[in-house]
Chains A and B, each alone.
Chain A
Amino acid sequence: MRLVVDLNRCQGYAQCAFLAPDVFAMHGDEGLLYDPEAESAQRERVAQAVAACPVQAILVDEMDMAAAGRTAASAEAPHA
């Protein structure tokens, strides 16, 4: 599945790295590295990260999400 993070927006809150550590990792104190083409097995976790990102910086492929049935879109955001 494809994803991109708008790193202008990202403020390094690390929610994504916590929820989907195989896809997102902090690099230094506030930098973020991510795998732009994550395994489809990570879909659920990535969807949780998308929902939890406090600045909505993570964009996931629409077609991929449709395939996942948006199950995780309503996942509790730990920030909320």
Chain B
Amino acid sequence: MPDGSLDRLKREGRIVVVGASLAGLRAAETLRDKGFEGTLTMIGDEPYEPYDRPPLSKQVLLGKATADHTALPRRREIDAEWRLGVPASGLDMATRRVKLADGDEVPYDRLMIATGVRARPWPNEAEGELDGVFVLRTRDDGVGLARHLDAGPRRVLVIGAGFTGSEIASACRERGLEVTVAERGDAPLVGALGGVIGAVAAEMHRENGVDLRTGVMVTRLEGDTTGRVRAAHFSDGTTLECDVVVVSLGAQRNTEWLAGSGLGAGPRGIACDAGCRAFDVRGIVTDDVFVAGDVARSPHPLFGYQFLSLEHWGNAVAQAETAAHNMLSESSDRRPHIWVPAFWSSQFGVNIKSVGVPSMGTEIMITQGSRAERRFTGVYGYQGRVIGAVTFDNCRWLQFYEQQIEATAPFPPPFPTVDRRSDGQRPIPADFPDPSVPTHGPTITLSGYSPADRRMTFTPAGH
């Protein structure tokens, strides 16, 4: 839309949101809040209205809620045209149209992409389709898994000990189910929080009766004659009988539908500027395509302007609000999305929270409490500054460290007054694994500086 036509966009424009979940809904609400009166179309491949995912690995598995009862509350009426149960299959940026898998096309003046991520499936398709084998990302997954756990399986195998895998194992134990966790890394949560905290997580698993096996891979799942899973084979040659398997190997970004569209979208997400405007494959920022939530990667000034991909609930909300605001603003009124990453998890009765980018940290110092008590604050340092923090049952300290991160405060923290036990005398190496080893669970990825993954051949003029 040419300059000066913002009022017309607000009055009679067409805004299309692809991805009808947390980020999509909050963007839609913000658009209406900001006075958008035009046509709003919400496109979602799931047949359900937007629902909340975090309860799927917590309340739902504990039987405190059901997966079909996590529909998100609305902050206001959004008066949208809903196209649910049909995926977007393509994008034509020149004619500004979203193509749908049912053959329809929806024109837009502004487009908001919030297609999120999906669970990485078990690599062997036939084994992944055995009855009793699950991933956990969607409401349907949650319904199926909860039903299988209700049936009282003899043993559950969780493959991958990231946040989601650990939460599933914790819920199983709380229900009295036998559970084995297989993790390729040295400990649970190492990719997100490093080996020092991973060791605490490993103790928590074992104390709670989880059969935790680290440094091991599941090589094969085996079914019985009726197509139900019955056993798993491990890289150390052992076999485990199990009748439910949850594959919890992290996520893949939902960007395939944008292939060939010319948008800077790839396996690492959709690159955008700090104002949530998507880049095209040439590294040029678009004016009418915005992104938010798990599918986005955007540069962050606190982390060296590197592109940051977050699989965090709070980020989806905040980024959606910023994207929607900018979509309806003149360039001088736009805001950057410079949210400090924040995340929570709950497992084995312990409340785990983090801020900043712990995985950038090279050192950690326990500044409050102690690891042995499972109640502490760990602060991560990177090149002499505070870059992240984690708390185990100590969340009221988090805000303080969030301010420290924002202020690029020095590391190790110098304050002499804090409650420092023997744990906290000095920083120790945070012990993150080789970054090329994939991590699991909702976490943070720093994905470099390049706006688009696709390389171009550079041919200087006149040659």
Contacts and interface: CB of A to CB of B under 8 A. Distances in A.
Interface of A: 2-4, 6-8, 10-12, 25, 27-31, 33-37, 59-64
A36 B72 CA distance: 8
B75 interface: yes
Contacts of A3: 73
B396 A62 contact: no
Given A12-B395, A36-B70, A62-B75, A27 B346 contact: yes
A36 B52 contact: yes
A6 B58 contact: no
A60 to B, nearest CB: 6
A4 B313 CA distance: 12
Interface in B311-358: 313-314, 317, 342-344, 346, 349-351, 353
A33 B54 CA distance: 11
Given A8-B313, A8-B342, A37 B351 contact: no
B344 to A, nearest CB: 5
Residue of A12, A29, A59 with most partner-chain B CB within 10 A: A29
Interface string B381-394: 00000000000010
A37 B393 contact: no
B351 A36 contact: no
A36 B53 CA distance: 11
A25 B358 CA distance: 29
Nearest to A37: B69
Interface residues of B, number: 32
Nearest to A64: B73
Given A36-B65, A62-B76, 12 more contacts: A7-B313, A8-B314, A8-B342, A29-B349, A29-B393, A33-B58, A33-B59, A35-B64, A35-B69, A36-B52, A61-B74, A62-B77
Contacts of B375: 29
B351 A28 contact: yes
Nearest to B62: A33
B64 A31 contact: no
B71 A37 contact: yes
Contacts of A62: 73-77
10 closest A-B pairs by CB = A28-B349, A61-B73, A37-B69, A2-B73, A31-B351, A31-B346, A8-B314, A7-B344, A30-B351, A8-B342
A2 B77 contact: no
A34 B59 contact: yes
Interface in B37-68: 52, 54-55, 58-59, 62, 64-65
Contacts of B346: 7, 27-28, 31, 33
21 contacts: A8-B314, A8-B353, A11-B395, A12-B395, A28-B350, A30-B395, A31-B349, A35-B69, A36-B52, A36-B55, A36-B65, A36-B69, A36-B70, A37-B69, A59-B73, A61-B73, A61-B74, A62-B75, A62-B77, A63-B74, A63-B77
B65 A35 contact: yes
A2 to B, nearest CB: 4
Contacts of A2: 71-74
Interface in B381-414: 393, 395-396
Interface string B71-105: 11111110000000000000000000000000000
Contacts of A29: 349, 351, 375, 393
Nearest to A34: B59
A20 B342 CA distance: 27
A60 B350 CA distance: 26
B314 to A, nearest CB: 5
B187 to A, nearest CB: 21
Nearest to B68: A37
B172 to A, nearest CB: 15
Contacts of B55: 36
A30 to B, nearest CB: 5
A43 B324 CA distance: 31
Contacts of A6: 314, 317
Contacts of A8: 313-314, 342-344, 353
